[in-house]
Amino acid sequence: MITWDEHVRYTPKAKKNLGKVKRRLRWHRLSTALNYCVAFPTNPENKLDIYNMGELLFKRYEDYDEEIHIIGLAESREAAIGLAADIISEVYERTDGFDVRRYFNEFLKDD
């Protein structure tokens, strides 16, 4: 299952496409694979995962046991890497740690 965080981060270029990307992903009709997303890691050893949005249209992600929870959207892989770095920096600055999932689930709920 694919879900979106209520505090999703995005690059300026990706911001204008956020609604369209969400709708097309839900309808499995993503017309472009130029968007990348940053998500909570599926492997506990990682801090974040980066996916090409086109990859999430594959059938295997519909039946995926683990939830893919998207917390960021960018227009390119390079921009997604920068966005992931910004998210990690924000988490460290506010919590003195690197637990991104806990930060989004607990700390941002209070804001």
DSSP secondary structure, 78-100, as one string: HHHHHHHHHHHHHHHHHHSS--H
Across the chain, how many H-helices and E-strands are there? 6, 4
The count of domains in the chain is 1
**8 A C-beta contact, residue 8 and residue 19:** no
Residue 90, pLDDT score: 95
Pair type for strands 36-39 and 2-10: unpaired
Residue 110, pLDDT score: 62
**8 A C-beta contact, residue 1 and residue 65:** no
Residue 33, pLDDT score: 53
Summary mean pLDDT of the chain: 84
The 10s digit of each residue's pLDDT in 50-73 is: 998 888 777 776 666 778 899 999
Higher-confidence position of 33 and 8: 8
Domain with 43 in it: 2-110
Find which of 2-11, 15-24, 90-99 is predicted with most confidence, using mean pLDDT: 90-99
Residue 31, pLDDT score: 54
